[in-house]
Amino acid sequence: MFTIPENTKITPQLAVKFILKHELGNERLDRLYNYYIGEHGILSRTKDRNAANNRLVCNHAKYITDCTTGYFLGSPVRYVSMSDKDISAIRNVLKRCDSDTEDIDLARYGSIFGVSYEMLYMTADAEIMLVSLDPRYAFVVYDDTVQQKPLFGVYYTPIGDGNGYRTGYRVYLCDRSTICEFTASPSFAVLNVSEPTEHYFGDVPVIEYYNNWDKQGDFEQVTTLIDAYNTLQSDRVNDKEQFVDSLLVIKGQILGDTEEEEKDTFNAIKKYGVMTMDDTGDAKWLTRQFDESAVDILRRSLESDIHKFSGVPCLSDESFSGNSSGVAMKYKLLAFEQMTKIKESYFSEGLRIRLGLIANALSVLGYSVPDVSDIRIVFTHNLPENETEIAQTVNLLKDIVPQDKLIKLLPYDISE
């Protein structure tokens, strides 16, 4: 976390100072992004020119991120007023900005990089907008008090000349009341600085969403296991290829008096697949033996460890087949659920900051909005539900539990 004293003067030069610090961590972020898109270390492996060198990428990283993102936010977040106050103005802003898609983008960034960022801005028509930011080009700086309140946020984008050469950066510096845009050279020397403009959000309009306490990606701790799995699978294919290319050893036979005759004999054996020899002759393949069952045990062990230590189950596993009861399914997904609950806690904190910024801007625009602390943020994890089992439970409790409580057991919202 970047921190400075609360009374520090915020300038483009200060922003550039922190950009240079932020750039030092981008090697890690680039490595995590490469894992997600399938650019794994196995692709750079080299071998002797005559040796088989298959390089297979089994992209567990993408599987982990896509599964966690879909489970976490595949069902949109809902906002409910706990005192039945009108929050339609806030809902309209979120709907116009397509906040459901925005949330998925933020969750995916968080799953890959361990952190995600969002910026709020207002158009010339006074419409509030949201945009997710690439964590490799965004950060927030906080004060050094125990409250660690945000002082300013930065988003910078590379500028090119159209021929693939980077000519500098465009930088957006957002503090608690204004947004300042300026350009910087490739070495981050401050160039053209525009006049700051007021943004009316009442606080820093750049929000930092944590993925977990230590800001780690969901697959970051299992990258070495992913590398080992890729190596094992690649070498299995290499072994198969080398088995096909095995040498034929012929003993006790002369295939020709000259090198040319021997070559003709070799070609004939290869073409027709047969050969003749006398009683003293023998022919057999010279192959390298390997224990396929032992290799498969190692493969399954590595795959099990990847899912175990990432907390993301292998949903194609046999243990998920059949019609499991709701309780049995929850036990299988317990680690996954606990990890998602942690993500939910940190993500809801960022969403509540978003709601506060939107409410501040709406108030300036003349809308009447309630206190955002009155709004309950509801997450619904995207998992197949045993609706028959739920319906039976609701039916059994209908004369015991109030109807409004039973409605909350349903896997869908009947109020909208």
Sign (positive/negative) of CA torsion 43, 48, 49, 50?
negative
Q: What is the pLDDT of residue 111?
A: 98
Distance CA 185, CA 167 (A): 7
Three-state secondary structure of 141-198: EEECCCCCCEEEEEEEEEEECCCCCEEEEEEEEEECCEEEEEEECCCCCEEEECCCEE
Q: What is the pLDDT of residue 336?
A: 92
Q: What is the pLDDT of residue 294?
A: 86
Three-state secondary structure of 341-355: HHHHHHHHHHHHHHH
Task: Please report, for the chain, the start and end positions of each structural domain, with discontinuous segments joined by +.
Answer: 2-219+336-384, 247-286, 389-416
Q: What is the pLDDT of residue 62?
A: 97
Those residues of the chain that have pLDDT short of 70 are 243-248, 252, 270, 273, 285-290, 318-328, 384-387, 408-416
Which tokens is 32 given?
A: 């995590």
CB 121 within 8 A of CB 132: no
Q: What is the pLDDT of residue 163?
A: 83
Task: Report pTM.
Answer: 0.84
As a whole number of Å, the end-to-end CA separation of the chain is: 41
**Burial (CB count within 10 angstroms: exposed 0-12, middle 13-18, buried 19+), residue 245:** exposed
CB 119 within 8 A of CB 12: no
